[in-house]
Amino acid sequence: MVQGQPFDVDLERQRAAATRSYVTPAVITLILYFLLWVPGLVANIVYYIQASNDQALVGRPPDGKGCLTALLIVFIGLPVGIIGLVLVITMIGGIAASVSH
């Protein structure tokens, strides 16, 4: 900082956000998902919100935000989708069984 120039907090936040990477937090989140699912989910949501805030400051997604998004899809979207599909198939099977009798 040059003497006589004011310290711009917003500019410093933008600089910090521009260099921040979320690749390591994504790897930590992946490990947490395998060890304990709920802490992995919490970490994923927290890191994703931080990455979204950095994206709003800088105007582009930070490194690793795509990894965090993929983790949300794989560890939340797929299980919910599979459970939903199993429920639909079970209901259709139950309806088909009751109609055939």
| Residue 28 in this model has a pLDDT that exceeds 60 | yes
Q: Using an 8 Å Cβ cutoff, are 67 and 23 in contact? A: yes
What is the DSSP secondary-structure string of 53-65? Answer: HHHHHHSSPPBTH
pTM: 0.76
pLDDT greater than 60 at residue 2: no
Choose among 93, 75, 67: nearest CA to 34: 75
What is the domain partition of the chain in residue ranges? 9-72
The half-sphere exposure of 14 on its side-chain side, counting CA atoms within 13 A, is 9
pLDDT-derived band of residue 32, with 50, 70 and 90 as boundaries?
Answer: very high
State pLDDT tens for residues 6-22: 778 888 888 888 889 99
Q: What is the pLDDT of residue 53?
A: 94
